[in-house]
């Protein structure tokens, strides 16, 4: 999933257009973008949309951001949307992997009750939205097998921290938020899950978004959250391997295929070893998923 676009689940207008935005994943939001008085209606709208869209031949993945586990809403969220068969749940504000496990166990029961295959509903963890979560990233190494990816959230974290800013004047993250970002990246990769970068809130600044995506892709992130449809194409482009990258990766894979007993080889005057081969295989896998 390169682009993961938030859609307020209480907006019929936005839901009605969601399939046209080109996102790899739609995040139907029952949490921050929905007022308490509209959450019940949002569940109904989200479930109806998922039930209709999930049978389409070509569609984005359909995830639902439920309310946090310390709220009074999250169980009703699952009861409302699970029968429609979403591809996954975005878990906000987890303290650690124990919250992922708690959700996974609840999904076992909810899937059985809804009559959907056990284990089919995946989980994305929206970590680092609360201070304690920045200190518990290593717990995700043994998280539920339902966990597909890990992302992070600067806006909620800054509210709890009392920060007056999350970025330097030149747009770089300030030290606390760079730490949270880096911990998310290291943890997701080490745990074998997808690392997904957080939102870029200045949604009209597409040049700034493109640069942030370039840096994220360079560092190892493979996707990014989006808060506006206009951000999707920029995100998709940044996280799709280029023709030059694909050609390089094909050459590396072919080189090691032709020399299976070699640990280090030379290509165009550069030394190539096994880490290059691993990177090349990942590039080709991402290219295949992106359809290029």
**13-24 pLDDT per residue, tens:** 999 999 999 999
Contact 238, 245 (CB under 8 A): no
Helices 274-290 & 243-258 angle (0-180, nearest 10) = 130
Residue 247 reports pLDDT greater than 90: no
What SS3 class is residue 209?
helix
Q: What is the 3-state secondary structure (H, E, C) of 44-73?
A: HHHHHHHHHHCCCCCCCEEEEECCCCCCCC
Query: What's the average model confidence in pLDDT over 118-131?
Result: 96
Q: What is the fold of 3-238? A: TIM Barrel (3.20.20)
Residue 275 reports pLDDT greater than 80: no
Q: What per-residue confidence (pLDDT) applies to 212?
A: 97
Q: What per-residue confidence (pLDDT) applies to 61?
A: 97
Q: What per-residue confidence (pLDDT) applies to 265?
A: 78
pTM: 0.90
Contact 131, 157 (CB under 8 A): yes
List, for residues 78-108, the tens digit of each pLDDT value: 999 999 999 999 999 999 999 999 999 999 9
188: enclosing H helix or E strand: helix 175-190
Residue 70 reports pLDDT greater than 80: yes
Residues carrying CATH 3.20.20.60, the chain: 3-238
| Buried residues in 263-272 as b, exposed as e (16+ CB within 10 A) | eebeeeeeeb
Q: What per-residue confidence (pLDDT) applies to 142?
A: 87
């Amino acid at each position: 999933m390169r682009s993961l676009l938030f859609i307020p689940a209480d907006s019929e207008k936005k839901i009605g257009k969601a399939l046209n935005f080109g996102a790899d994943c739609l995040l139907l939001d029952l949490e921050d973008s929905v007022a308490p008085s509209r959450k019940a209606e949002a569940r109904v709208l989200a479930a109806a949309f998922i039930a209709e869209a999930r049978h389409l031949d070509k569609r984005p993945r359909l995830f639902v951001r439920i309310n946090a586990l310390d709220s009074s809403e999250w169980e009703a969220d699952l009861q409302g949307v699970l029968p429609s068969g979403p591809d996954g749940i975005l878990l906000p504000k987890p303290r650690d992997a124990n919250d992922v496990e708690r959700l996974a166990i609840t999904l076992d029961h909810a899937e059985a009750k809804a009559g959907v295959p056990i284990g089919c509903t995946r989980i994305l963890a929206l970590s680092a939205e609360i201070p304690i979560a920045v200190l518990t990233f290593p717990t995700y190494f043994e998280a539920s097998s339902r966990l597909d990816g890990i992302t992070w959230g600067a806006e909620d974290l800054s509210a709890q921290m009392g920060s007056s800013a999350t970025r330097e004047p030149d747009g770089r993250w300030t030290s606390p938020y760079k730490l949270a970002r880096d911990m998310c990246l290291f943890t997701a990769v080490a745990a074998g899950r997808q690392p997904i970068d957080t939102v870029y809130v200045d949604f009209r600044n597409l040049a700034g978004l493109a640069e942030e995506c370039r840096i994220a892709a360079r560092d190892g992130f493979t996707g990014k959250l989006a808060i506006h449809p206009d951000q999707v194409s920029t995100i998709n482009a940044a996280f799709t391997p280029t023709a030059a990258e694909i050609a390089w990766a094909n050459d590396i894979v072919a080189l090691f295929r032709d020399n299976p007993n070699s640990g280090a080889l030379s290509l165009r005057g550069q030394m190539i070893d096994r880490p290059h081969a691993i990177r090349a295989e990942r590039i080709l896998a991402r290219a295949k998923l992106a359809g290029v």
